[in-house]
Amino acid sequence: MSDEIASATLQTSQKAIEVALELIKMLAPLAQKLLSEVYHKSVDGINDVGGKIANARSLGTVSAKNLVVEAQKANSPISTTSNFLARDAEQIAAKAKQYKIPIAIIGNGEKRTIEFLERDKGAIQQITNEVMQDRLKEAPQSVKCFSVSENNVSTLKTAFEENGIECQFVGGKDGKISCIYPAECAEQVAVIKADYKRTYDEVAENCSIIANVPETERQTEISARIDALTNAEIGSEQRSNVYDSILSDMQNRNVDIPQYSEHNMQIIEREMPYAKQAAGKAFWEQQGYTLNENAKGVEILAPQVDESGNPVLDDNGKQAFTSVTVYDISETNAYDLAIQDEVNALRNEYAEERAAAFAQSETKEIVVSDDLSGKSVTLPADKLTKEQVSQALQENLGYSAAKADIAANKVCYDLSLDREAYFAKPTQIENLDALRTNIRYQSDDLTLRDTRFDAVNFKDGQDTHIVIRHGDNVVGLTPAKMSQDEMKTLCVSKLGMSEYQADKAVSKAVKIESQTRSKIEERTVNKQGISKEMHIERTGDNVFSVSMGGKSRTYNFSTVGVEEKIARNFDIPLENARNAVAKAKKQSVIQNKINNAVSKKKKQNAPEMPKISVDKGLKKR
């Protein structure tokens, strides 16, 4: 408020002085000098009123005093603009310095005032617009997020903790889970994700899971068919039939398949007796195929043409020829692509057959092997859990916690185990540390009905982050640290919202943040007519505490007549007791723990109050 009063006073005073300056232009130099001194003192005096003393300026290109000197030289009044964020004022000063425009910045708090010459008003407006546009284009997110599967939550949680990075997980009814982390940790998180992907690939390639169950007749048939497809030799009937089918399809699509002279055909047949159709590398790539690593090709002679496609003649005026390399279809990945769908279908069928046989087997054992180290471990599969498998892989195969977690997931997927029983463990639930998820209000705008709002906090801070999911796009907003323009710009640029939707989304984010910050409390009047504040805190899934007037009690939601007990214990009306229970149910156990930890940390870090020594010789009056 004092800043606003100072700014208003400054502008009013300056306007009066500016009028006086115009009138005094015709007066003697002595009078003009006297007026400038008055002007100078007026500005400094107003700065004192606003609490913005001269030595508080640090970002301007000149001081306030020097700006007065510049105003005298340019014969121009001084104008001001207030309420700039400090970071924006710094950028404006940098641009002003670049264009050699004198400005002074007043203030040392979060909001600053800029003083400049009236003659530079247009330039300052342009600079201000550039700075604001640049900031809005690059509006920073305080938090970022990415989607993970539920069964990978514990792996990523461990990886983040090992690297000292805070994260939270928000799970929705749609099964999607988002890992939310501070935006400033984006580079470290990128490394963690890359490590996770590399470990996942290692497990997929080198970790083998075998169920100790005899192969069924159908499994044997499937294995034989897969082997026949994948190991068919070049020139075999299997490959020949596939190539004929591919080439026939090209002809049906009117693809211009290369034709060669009799001489070139003889060269191709001599070098590659098994050849079906030869063509240049460019032709195969146009068809969507790539050459194999060991492709050698055959050199043939082709007519030489220029860039326009006209024949090139030799010194004798005859058609010139050049050597080109052509490759047979067998030297491309055409066969592998053609059988890919069939092989995948067969492998899926084999897995289903194996899972069925495993489920019906009386002896349930599995062998997990690491192909790189040659180590393996045999596990009894009866009532097996992910936690047990992960521990066994760490102890027997030397896997890290993250790698064992991924491999344990693979065991479940490969053997089609009962996922609900296999993954059931408390940590899977505890890791979903959402403060509030899928927040809905009756007053929500119709255009936001398909937009999801989640609110999370990190352990090392009290700011609430609002994660908005709109379609496949996600953005994180922090209302306590971001302007509404910044948040609106992010909603438009990152979520693809309309201006109208963005405005409504930001309003809702601010509302959620405001509600989250406020403590859940109940004001009540006891039977003696005394108004007291009741504190309600949920401490477990089914447990909450109520405190009032130095008395504290713990209750269970499932207790019959719990409202009546609260009313009786605290001597309050039944309606107030019901409100207390309703408010407790709305709280997050995890968030209460986080808030308590933050409060405890603040108390520990609070400076001790200085001890006041009392002179015992002083007497009371």
In sequence order, what E strands does 212-310 have? Answer: 278-279, 298-303
Identify the weakest region by mean pLDDT among 19-28, 298-307, 537-546. 19-28
Answer yes or no: are the C-beta atoms of 153 and 177 closer than 8 Å: yes
Q: Indicate the helix (H) or strand (E) that contains 207.
A: strand 207-211
Residue 338 has a pLDDT of: 92
- Whether pLDDT at 434 is above 60: no
Mean pLDDT of 229-234: 90
State the distance between the two ends of the chain, measured CA to CA, in whole angstroms: 42
Judge whether residue 52 has pLDDT over 50. Answer: no
What are the two backbone dihedrals, phi and then psi, of residue 166, each rounded to the nearest 5 degrees?
Answer: -75, 140
Task: Answer whether residue 465 shows pLDDT above 50.
Answer: yes
**Which two tokens mark 526?**
């006891």
Q: What is the pLDDT of residue 619?
A: 37
Asked if residue 582 has pLDDT above 80, the reply is yes
Amino acid found at 101: I
Answer yes or no: is pLDDT of 459 > 70.
no
Greater confidence (408 vs 147) lies with: 408
The residue ranking higher by pLDDT, 392 or 414, is: 392
Q: Are 405 and 158 in contact (CB under 8 A)?
A: yes
Instruction: Check residue 562 and give its pLDDT.
Output: 92
Burial string for 488-498 (b: 16+ CB within 10 Å, else e) reads: bbbbbbbbebe
What is the rounded CA–CA span in Å between residue 406 and residue 399? 10
Residue 44 is predicted with a pLDDT of 42
Neighbours of 36 (CB within 10 A): 17
pLDDT recorded at residue 471: 84
Q: Is the pLDDT of residue 352 over 90?
A: no
Q: Quick one: average pLDDT of 483-492?
A: 86
pLDDT at residue 435 greater than cutoff 60: no
- pLDDT score of 506: 93
As a whole number, the mean pLDDT across the chain is 77
Q: Between 185 and 433, name the one with better pLDDT.
A: 185
CA 294-299-305 angle, 5° bins: 125
pLDDT at 153 over 90: no
Q: pLDDT band for position 10 (50/70/90)?
A: very low
Q: What is the mean pLDDT of residues 154-164?
A: 79
Residue 36 binned pLDDT confidence (cut-offs 50, 70, 90): very low
Q: Which two tokens stand for residue 518?
A: 């406020």
pLDDT confidence band for 599 (50 / 70 / 90): low
Token couple for 83: 């309420």
Give the number of C-alpha atoms closer than 13 A to the C-alpha of residue 535, restricted to the C-beta side: 11
Q: What is the pLDDT of residue 504?
A: 93
Task: List beta partners, residue 115.
Answer: 80, 104
- The span from the CA of 470 to the CA of 621, in Å, is 72
Q: How far is CA 463 from the centre of its chain?
A: 17
Segment 206-217 shows an average pLDDT of 81
> Among the listed ranges 67-81, 153-167, 508-522, 571-585, which one has the minimum average pLDDT value?
508-522
Most confident segment among 217-226, 382-391, 476-485: 217-226
Q: b or e along 137-169 (b: 16 or more beta carbons within 10 Å of the residue's beta carbon)?
A: eebebbbbbeebebbbbbbbbebbeeeebebbb
| Residue 182 bridge partners (DSSP) | 143
Q: Which residues contact 80 (CB under 8 A, 6 or more apart)?
A: 7, 10, 11, 14, 113, 114, 115, 116
Amino acid 265: pLDDT: 92
Residue type, 28: A
Lowest mean pLDDT among 257-271, 359-373, 440-454: 359-373
Which residues share a beta bridge with 548?
551
> Looking at the predicted structure, is the pLDDT value of residue 54 above 60?
no
Asked whether 2 and 51 are in contact (CB, 8 A), the reply is yes
pLDDT tens by residue, 118-146: 899 888 888 887 876 666 565 567 778 88
Residue 232: both structure tokens together: 């068919």
Structure tokens at 402: 């993250």
Closest CA to 580 of 565, 597, 590, 601: 565
Which band of pLDDT confidence, cut at 50, 70 and 90, is reported for residue 328? very high
More confident residue, 619 or 336: 336
Bridge partners of 524, per DSSP, are 532
pLDDT band at 254 (very low <50, low <70, confident <90, very high): very high
Percentage of the chain lying above the pLDDT 70 cut: 75
Q: Which residue has the higher pLDDT, 493 or 458?
A: 493
Residue 522 in this model has a pLDDT that exceeds 70 = no
Above 50 in pLDDT, residue 461? Answer: yes
Evaluate if pTM is beyond 0.75: no
Residue type, 446: L
- Which pLDDT band holds residue 426 (cuts at 50, 70, 90)? very low
Taking each helix axis as running N to C, give the angle between helix 86-98 and helix 121-137, from 0 to 180 degrees, rounded to the nearest 10. Answer: 130
